[in-house]
Amino acid sequence: MATLLLVTLYEYSPLFYIAVVSLCFLVTAAIVLGWFGFDVPVFLLSHEDSESTVSTPEKLMVQETNPFSLALGSGPACVSDGVLLKPCCLEPCVLSCFWGCEVGALQDVLRTHQQNLRLTSPQHFLEALHHRFHYHQTFYIHSEDEKECHTCIPADQRITDFGPLPRKHYPLVAVLTLAETEARNLYNIVANVIVIHVPDGKYNLSARILFQYLLTSQGYMHELKPLFMSAEGSGEPAGEQMERSPDRGESDWSEEMGRNCVVCQNAAVNRVLLPCRHACVCDSCMLHFQHCPICRAFVLESFSLRPTLQI
C-alpha cells in the first residue's frame, strides 16, 4: 500500500514525491535520535513525545544556617579613600580586611583549610597568609549590627593601585569569623571569605564582590553563587533589588516572586535550573522542559526554593 502511494506521488509530481520522502526521513531520524538521548529540535517532537520526556533529576539540598552576611556599603569606593562594608551577623563576629592580598596566598589558605588545618578564627587566617598582603585591619561586629565599617589603606603607604592586569594581588579580601568560641560549635559554617574589587588608578571598574566562599567546620569549602530571577515591573535584576532591601522577610520575598513563572505566568517560581542557575519556572512546568526557557541551556539538575507540600 505504501509502495503504491509512493509510485502515485512520483507520477503526479517528482518534486512533491522528493519533498514527502525527505520529510519522512527527517521525522524518522529525529525519533531515533530522541530514543538514544540526542538533542533534537523542539518542532520535530510531537505532543506525546514532549509529555513523555524523562524528568530532570532533582539535586538533593542540605539546609545550613549561614551566620554571616556582607554587602558593599553606600558611597563611593576607591583605593585612596577606602570602601564601606556592611556586615550583618547572627552572632558576634570579627571582620578582617586584607588589602593587597596575594592571589596565591589566598589559594594556599583555602587549600590549607581543606587539607588539615581548620581556619576558624582571625588569628588562624593571619598566620596562614604569612603576611603576604599590604595592610591588615580588623573590626568587631556585634550580633545583628548593620552599621557600616570603613576600611582604608593608610596614606603613608602610598599605594594607589595594584598593578596592571593580570594582577598578582586582590584589592581587598574580607574574612568574617565568629568571635566567640562557643558559637563556633553551634554552626557548621565557621568563616566567610569575600574577594572584593576596589577601583584604583589603573583599573577603574566599579566596586563589586567577585567571589564568596563559605568554610565549614568539616574542612569543606563552598562557593556562593547568585541565582538569576526575573524582576517584574523593574528593569534591574532581582538580586540587586534584594540587596538594596535587606530587611525584607521571607514572606515578603515569597509575595513578590509568587506568581511569575515565565512559562505559565500563573504559579510561583520554585525551581532553580542547573548549571545556568535560572530560577524561572514552577514545579509543574519543570516537568515539560529539558532546556532552560531563558538561555536555552540544557538542564542537568534542578532544586526547589521551597519544600513542596504533599497532600
CA distances from 227 to 106, 110, 294 (A): 25, 24, 13
147: Cβ contacts below 8 Å, ≥ 6 apart: 86
Give residue-wise pLDDT tens across range 70-116.
999 888 899 989 999 999 999 999 999 999 999 999 999 999 898 87
Strand partners, 124: none
Contact 82, 153 (CB under 8 A): yes
Q: For CA atoms 225, 307, 281, 41, give the dihedral sign.
A: positive
What does the pLDDT read at residue 4? Answer: 64
The DSSP bridge partners found for residue 302 are: 58, 273
| Partners of 169 in the β-ladder | 102
Question: In the prediction, which pLDDT does 230 show?
Answer: 66
Give the Å distances, CA to CA, from 150 to 6, 8, 154, 309.
81, 85, 12, 45
pTM above 0.75, yes or no: no
Residues forming beta bridges with residue 96, ordered by sequence position = 138, 175
Residue 158 CA to residue 80 CA, distance in Å, equals 9
Residues 6+ apart with CB under 8 A from 44: 26, 27, 30
Q: Which fold has domain 258-310?
A: Herpes Virus-1 (3.30.40)
CA 73 to chain centre: 21
CA–CA distance, 209 with 239 (Å, rounded to integer): 13
- Below-50 pLDDT ranges, the chain: 40, 42-52, 233-258, 309-311
Residue ranges matching CATH 2.60.40 in the chain: 68-226
DSSP state of 133: S
Listed residue (194, 187, 211) closest to 91, CA to CA: 187
Burial class (CB in 10 A: 0-12, 13-18, 19+), 182: exposed
Which pLDDT score is estimated for 165?
Answer: 83
pLDDT of 50 reads: 45
Q: Looking at the DSSP assignment, which residues form a beta bridge with residue 213?
A: 193, 223
> Using CB atoms within 10 A of its CB, is residue 143 exposed (0-12), middle (13-18) or buried (19+)?
middle
Return d(Cα 42, Cα 80) in angstroms, integer: 55
The single-letter DSSP state of residue 207 is P
Closest to 100 in 3D by CA, of 139, 135, 67: 135
Q: Where in the chain is the domain with CATH 3.30.40.10?
A: 258-310
Strand segments, DSSP code E, in the chain are 70-72, 83-87, 93-102, 135-141, 149-151, 169-178, 189-197, 208-216, 221-223, 228-229, 271-274, 278-281, 301-304
pLDDT of residue 311: 39
The CATH code that applies to domain 68-226 is 2.60.40
